[in-house]
Structures are given as C-alpha cells and as structure tokens.
Amino acid sequence: MSYEVALPILVPLFAGALSLLCWRSRWMQRVIAVAGTGALLAISIWLLMTVNREGYVIMQMGDWKAPFGISLVADLLGAIMVVLTGIIGFAVALYSLAVTGRGHENFGYYPLMHLLLAGVAGAFLTGDIFNLYVWFEVMLLASFALLTLGGERAQMEGAIKYVTLNLLSSVIFLTAVGLLYGMVGTLNMADIAYKLSLVEETAMIDVLAMMFMVSFGIKAGAFPLFFWLPASYHTPPVAVSALFAGLLTKVGVYALFRVFTLIFNQSPGYTHEILLWGAGLTMLSGVLGAAAHFEFRRILSFHIVSQIGYMIMGLALFTPLAVAGGVFYILHHIIVKTNLFLVSGIVNRLKGTYDLKKLGGVYKEHPWLSFLFLIPALSLAGVPPLSGFLAKLVIIRASIEAERYGITFVALLVGLLTLYSMTKIWAEVFWKAPPELGEGEKAPKVPPLARHQRWLLMLPATGLAACTVLIGIYGQLIYDLSVASAAQLLDPQAYIQAVLGVQP
Amino acid sequence: MVKPGTLILNVAAGLLMPLQLMFALFLLLRGHDEPGGGFIAGLVGAGAFALYQFAHGPAATRRLLHVDTRDLIGWGLFLAILSALPGWALGEPFLTAQFWKVPVIDVKVSTPLVFDIGVFLVVLGSVLTAVITLTELDQAEAERKERREEGRDKTWNR
Amino acid sequence: MEPLMAIAIGIAYATAIYMMLRRSIVKLVIGILLISNAANLLVFTAAGLKRGAPPLIPEGASAPIGDVADPLPQALVLTAIVIAFGVLTFSVVLIRRAYLIVKADDLDQMKDTDT
C-alpha cells in the first residue's frame, strides 16, 4: 500500500488542526507552520519519486473499490503539482514568519494556510470528479478567509468580486457534475472517461465540455473570465497574494488539463479550438493590462493572466510536445510568479509602498534584492538561459510544428511585451533615482527590519531564484519529466486501466 | 441589536435547550446504523446554543460553553483526521472503517463514530463562531451608536 | 415529476441570476444562496427521481430489495448543501463587514480595486 498518495492531503490537514488547537501560542503556530509545510515538501518529493518509478500510484480511500469509492490517483502531472505545492508552501511559510503581524496570526492565518494547502493538494490528487469539487471548495473557503484577513476597504471590495465569481464558477461546475452523473451514472473520472467513450450522442458531451471549460476558465483566470483576478490579488497581505499567485489559478489550469485530456478528448477540433482562441486572447489581454499599470502587484497580477494563456495554449494545441510544453510552463511559472510576489513584498517592507512612481533607487541600497528580482523577471519574459526561456521554446516550437502560426506570433509578441513590463518595473523601482518628495509629502514610515527578519525574507526568495536557475541549467531533466507526463496525459486508456484495475 | 431576554424566551430556552442537546446526542449516536450523523447533530446542537444566546446574550453563552468555539473546531478536525489513521496501522487504506466491541457493556465502537464526533464538533464550533461573532459585532455597533446619540443629547441640553 | 422539477429549477436559476445582476450586495448574496440551491436540486433531478423507495437495507438482508432510489446523488446533495451553508455563512459575515466599512449597499460604490 502506498501511503504517500494520501499523506500530502492529510499532513496539511493535521498541521492545520494542530495549529488551530494552539491558537493561543504564536510560537507554536510558527513552529507547526514550518514543520508542516516542510513535511509536505518531503512527502511530495517521495511521491514524485514513487510515481516516476512505478507509474500511477493509487489508493482507494476507506477500502471502497473503484468506481464506487473515492480514489486518490497520482500520475506524473499530479505528483509534479504536489511537489510545487510543497515548495511554495514551505517558502511562503518561512516568509510569513517575518511579515505576518500579530493580528493576522490571532485571526487564524496559519491554520487557514494549512487548509489551503490541503485543498490544493487534494485537488491535484483526487481521481473523483465530485471530490475535486469538494477540494475546490475547501481551497476557496480558506482563500476567502485569507483574502479578507485584516479587513481593509480594498480587501472587502476585492473579496466581494472574488467570492461572487468563484462561487459562480463552483455552481457551474456542480451543475455540470450533476448533468454528467445523469448521463453516465458514475463520478470516478476514469470510469466517466470510459463510459463517455461509449456514448453515441456527442452534442450533449460538447455542452458539458463547455460548462467545465467556463467553470475552470473562471478559476484559472482565462479570457474573458479573469476580471476578478486583478481586482483582488493585490489587496491581501503579501504572503497571501504570493500563495494565491503561485497556486490557485494553477489548480484551475490543472483541472483543465485533467478534464480535457482524460474526459473530453472526443472532439478536439471543437473544444480545443475554442481553448486555443481563449489562450491567445488571454495572453494578449493580460499583458496589455499590465502595460497600463504602475502598481507593483497589479502589474504582476495581470501577468498571471497572460502567463495562464501559455499553459492553456499548450493544452489547446494537443500534440505531445505542446502538452509537455504546457506542463513545463506550469512548473516554471508557479516558482517564478511566487518569487516575484515575494520580492514585491520585500520592496514594500523596505519602502512602505507598492506604487512604482514613489519607488526608486532600490538597486543602490539593496543590490542583492535587485538581483533577486532580475532572475525571475527575466525568466518570466523568457530570457535564456533561465527556466522561462526553455518553457517558451518548447511551446512555441510545438505551435510551429502544428502549423498554427497565428498563435506563435501572439506568443512571441506577448513575450516581448512581458519584457517591456519587467523592464518598466526594473527601471522604476530599482534603477531610477528615488523621486523628490513633493510639497507636504512624507516618505511612508516603515518599522526597522531586524536581522533575523531580513534572513527570513531573503531566504525563500533566494531559494526560489535558485530553483529558476537550476531549471534552466538542468533543463533536460525537467523536459524529460514533462514529456513523460504529457505521454501519460495523452494516453487516457492507461489511466483508466490503472484506476479501475482490469478493463471493464 | 439582539436584546437578550424576554421572559417567555428565557423560560422556553431553559426548558428546550437540554432537550435539544439530548436530541443532538441521540442523532449523533444513531448515525451509526440509521439516518443521522455528525453534521445534523452539530446543527441541532448549535441551534440549542443559538437559542440560549438569543435569550441570555453572547457573553452568557460563552460562559456556558466554557471552551472557546475555535477550540471546538480544532478538536473536531483533529478527531476526524485521527479516525483516518487506524487503517494505516493495520496496513489498509486511510479511512478504512474499524470496529471494536467493548467487552463488558457490549457497545460497538468504530472509527466512523470517531469521525462523526469530529464532524459534530467542527459544525458546532463553526456555526457558533459565526453566530456569536455576528451578534457581538452587532452589539458593539449598537453600543457605539448609543454612545454617539447620548453625546448628541448632552450637546443639545447645553 | 421531472418536467415539473425542470421548470422549477429553471425558474430558480433565472431568479438567482437576476438577483446577482442587481447592484445591491444583499440581493447578490440572496442570488448566491438561490443559485446554489438550484444547482443542488438539479443534481438531484438529473440523477432521476424516485418516490417512496428509500435505499435502506432491511434487517437480515445484505442488499436493498427491489428497485430503490440511487443514494449517491443524495450524498452529493448533502455535501453540496454543507458547502453552500459554509459559503453562505462566510458571505453574510463578509457583507456585514463590508457594509460597516463602505457604508453603502451598492456595488457601484466599490470600484476602487477595479481596473
């Protein structure tokens, strides 16, 4: 019995419960936060190694046989995503030790963080479509509470939009699950895939596919459903936005990957064409939105949207190379985007503002921090030899091989515009001289940074930057992993067989 | 603002609350073999405390509970996860139900029961947290308003 | 029975969407409540309705006798109700706090974070 497939869900839940029980002691909560996320990281690496060695790792919860019980299934994509969850969770937990105030800690910051991680890991590992809905909701409830932590006006406004649109997405998802159950009478994704391949009337399947696409599209922040994202991601405490930026939209992307490779692969000419157009428009609208802004975190939020486009593009092209590129892109993006948010938080902690116009001269004072920004920023734009270059290379090459030159052009253009945005931040925040204070203006007051706090802030950012560089250097390793994972994704028969045992 | 206490409500709450709590316990244990279970028991239990709160106010409810509502959630979650683990020790998947018979009094104990108790506590804790916090928020707001109005009265008199 | 339910569900969805499109936040929350209940009913109906045949196993048997209702959608709906309940609790607290801060029950006055 391979317990490592359930442990990435149980460990954060357990840590969350313990953390909730110790809510009176800040010190205990902090210890549990670091230990819990560290354990999650270790277990997820163990899981990835097992999956890489043995193929699918499956556990039937409560010993109820598939397709009647809930199966937990880890394939390569799921395992990779869980490892990323572990990395991001650990980095953000360390970072939170330095930036989370007493008020937030008393309000339950750490238990909610563990709950969020459990929800994310659960969504990546479940093999049951209703269970996926449940994990989505666990994740959303935790994120709602984290988003409103502190209760400032901007947070309330952002939260209302976030809550409404994400709930709408959940309702569409639930409706689609209900209709799907009405059609095939099962909830196990492998069983659904098998039974849907026997259904002859494909019109209804396409309707369902569209409902899933809209629902996951909202969660992923795809065009034209992304408006909640830039309206809310820049409002919460920075550790929270880093966690959200890295993981939440990617759960939507993962769900798209899972559903549109395993279940709705009957008419790619129809569904995947729509996805491709969506991907192109997502990239463009995201990057253009970012170009118009002068607030650190708002620019980064818009870039989440534009980068989501690349991942969906990988899925939409639906060739082995393209899907591998999509997986590679997710892998690179989660690390880089979290890192950028962490750096924006450090800048804010040092200077007291996120406004590009009021910032300046950071390079002179903190050269190491500037370097830490430069690595993920250039990687995001796709400058060799960093991780973003390889990810973009694979996807663009796949699009040329598929002879979809339109999307190739869009992807290249968006890469260029990303570089423009990143250069803008670099020039405004790090390079230019600090702006002169106007009449009656005062520089925002920031409390002095203790030495251990400085370490806690810099360490996660440095670690993630190192990951980016390493992915660039050991690109072949990650590329092979992505190709293997794409091969698994494009072979639903193997998945069905692995989950259900013998062919029914 | 919720005003604690009319006479009828106070007396009724005193009589109804023990009944409701006993019914909650009954539902919790009955969920073992028959319709019932932790969630519904938690709701009925929370209903009992909510009624008490309407009669006597949030502060009295906190005193009556003795424990903080957040502790209830923590313990509930903890118990629910604990119930997943015995399967592991026996080499079966997580959450596999285990049944034991207590020899002398002939009662069956099982991990689903532990899970149900966990759910019961989580539901009780979270509903009460929400209800009590909302009432307290409301009361604080009303008190502020009252103070403001009192202040205005004084200036009028002057 | 199913056509009747379908019409009722359709009306519930339509009302919910109408409510969600209003400017008032309270109506927005009512819309959310209604739409999640409509979705629950839909799950229940789409899986097939059956009256008077609970999926209970009689004493001494090892499987339910005869044609009984499918217990799975009931479990799904129960789970979905629990989730909707949690979300609703959260949204009520949220709009209460938002109202205290913004002092208006109007989404048009909440555009500061829009772009």
Nearest chain C residue (CA) to B140:
C100
**B99 strand-pairing partners:** B110
Query: Would you call C93 and B134 a contact, using CB atoms and an 8 Å cutoff?
Result: yes
Query: What local confidence, expressed as pLDDT, does residue C9 receive?
Result: 94
**d(C-alpha A70, C-alpha A188), whole Å:** 7
Domain of C38, in residue numbers: 2-50+71-109
Are A338 and A245 in contact by the 8 Å Cβ rule? The answer is yes
**Structural domain includes residue C61:** no
Helices A387-401, A296-317: axis angle to 10 degrees equals 40
Distance of CA A308 to CAs A25, A251, A412, C75, Å?
A: 39, 11, 15, 35
Question: What total number of domains does chain C contain?
Answer: 1
- pLDDT tens digits along A134-190: 999 999 999 988 888 877 888 888 888 888 899 999 999 999 999 999 888 888 898
- Residue B98 has which token pair? 């285990």
pLDDT at A216 over 90: yes
B114/B84 Cα distance (integer angstroms): 9
Q: Does pLDDT of A133 surpass 90?
A: yes
Print the SS3 string covering A328-367: HHHHHHHHHHHHHHHHHHHHHHHHCCCECCCCCCHHHHCH
Tell whether A440 is covered by a domain. no
Beta-bridge partner residues of A128: A188
Using the 8-state DSSP alphabet, how is residue A450 labeled? P
Residues 6+ away with beta carbon under 8 Å from A502: none
Q: Which CATH number goes with the domain that contains C26?
A: 1.10.287
Task: Please report whether residue B2 resides in a domain.
Answer: no
Neighbouring chains of A at 3+ CB pairs within 8 Å?
B, C
Please tell me the predicted confidence (pLDDT) of residue A450. Answer: 79
What band does A123 get if pLDDT is binned at 50, 70 and 90? very high
Q: Does the beta-carbon distance from B93 to A108 stay under 8 Å?
A: no
In a domain, B82, yes or no: yes
A289 CB-contact burial (10 Å; exposed 0-12 / middle 13-18 / buried 19+) = buried
Beta carbons of B59 and B139 less than 8 angstroms apart: no
Residue A198 Cα to chain centre, angstroms = 34
From residue A180, alpha-carbon distances to A166, A201, A206, C38 in Å are 21, 13, 11, 16
Helix (H) or strand (E) holding A140: helix A129-147
What is the model's pLDDT at position B20? 92
Count of helix runs (H) and strand runs (E) in chain A: 21, 2
pLDDT at B158 over 60: no
Chain B partners of C78 at a C-beta cutoff of 8 Å? 39
Per DSSP bridges, beta strands A57-60 and A71-74 are: antiparallel
Residue partners of B46: CB distance under 8 A and separation at least 6: B123, B124, B127, B128, B131
For A59, the closest chain B residue by CA position comes to B93
A445 is a domain residue: no
Tell me which chain B residues have a C-beta less than 8 angstroms from the C-beta of A13. 77, 81
Q: Calculate mean pLDDT across residues C2-8.
A: 91
Interface contact C72-A181, CB threshold 8 A: yes
Q: Which domain holds residue B21?
A: 7-157
State the smallest CA–CA distance between residue B73 and chain A in angstroms.
Answer: 8
User: Which residues, numbered 52 to 81 in chain A, qualify as contacts with chain B under a Cβ-Cβ cut-off of 8 Å?
Assistant: 59-63
Q: Give me the number of domains chain A comprises.
A: 1
| Domains held by chain B: number | 1
Cβ(A47)–Cβ(A125) below 8 Å: no
Question: Which residues of B, range 108-147, sit inside 8 Å of A by Cβ?
Answer: none
- Across residues A51-69, what is the average pLDDT? 83
Kindly list the distances between the CA atom of residue A461 and the CA atoms of A69, A427, A457, B20, B67, in Å, as whole numbers in the listed order: 41, 20, 7, 54, 40
Identify the burial level of A457 via C-beta atoms within 10 angstroms of its C-beta, where 0-12 means exposed, 13-18 middle and 19 or more buried.
Answer: buried
How many Å separate Cα A289 from the centre of its chain? 20
Coil, helix or strand for B76? helix
Model confidence pLDDT, tens digit, residues A412-428: 999 999 999 999 889 88
3-state secondary structure of A451: helix
Q: What is the mean pLDDT of chain A?
A: 88
From A258's Cα to the closest Cα of chain C, the distance in A is 21
C92 to chain B, any CB pair closer than 8 A? The answer is yes
- The CA distance from A426 to A432, in Å, is 9
Structure tokens at C5: 């339910």
pLDDT of residue A504: 45
Q: Which helix (H) or strand (E) holds B110?
A: strand B107-110
What DSSP designation does A55 have?
Answer: S
pLDDT by residue (tens digit) across B39-71? 889 999 999 999 988 888 888 888 888 888 888
Residues 6+ apart with CB under 8 A from B34: none
Neighbour tally for C60: CB within 10 Å: 5
For residues A113-120, average pLDDT: 93
CB of B143 within 8 Å of a chain C CB? The answer is no
Element (H, E) at B108: strand B107-110
- Which positions in chain C touch B134 (Cβ < 8 Å)? 92-93, 96
pLDDT given at position B1:
45
Burial B9-19 (b: 16+ CB within 10 A, else e): beeebeebbee
Closest chain B residue to the Cα of C88, Cα to Cα: B130
Tell me the residue range of the domain where A59 lies: 3-435+450-499
Residue A443 counted as domain residue: no
For the stretch A12-38, pLDDT in tens is 999 999 998 888 888 888 899 999 999
User: Measured between alpha carbons, how far is residue B40 from residues A43, A153, B37, B124, C43 in Å?
Assistant: 35, 36, 6, 10, 21
Residue C65 forms part of a structural domain = no
Contact assessment for residue A306 and residue A283, using Cβ atoms and an 8 Å cutoff: yes
Q: Would residue C56 count as lying in a domain?
A: no
Closest-CA distance of chain A to residue C59, Å = 22
Does B43 reside within a domain?
yes
In the predicted model, is pLDDT for residue B156 greater than 70?
Answer: no
Does the residue A261 lie in any domain? yes
Residues of C in contact with B126 (CB under 8 A): 86, 89
A-chain residues near B84 (CB < 8 A): 10
In a domain, B152, yes or no: yes
In B, minimum Cα distance to C56 occurs at B34
Rounded to an integer, the average pLDDT of C8-25 is 92
| A419 occurs within a structural domain | yes
Q: Residue range A455-465: average pLDDT?
A: 90
Burial class (CB in 10 A: 0-12, 13-18, 19+), C104: middle
Token pair 């929800």 in the structure block, residue: A119
- Within a domain: A473: yes
Question: Looking at residues B132-158, what average pLDDT do you find?
Answer: 73
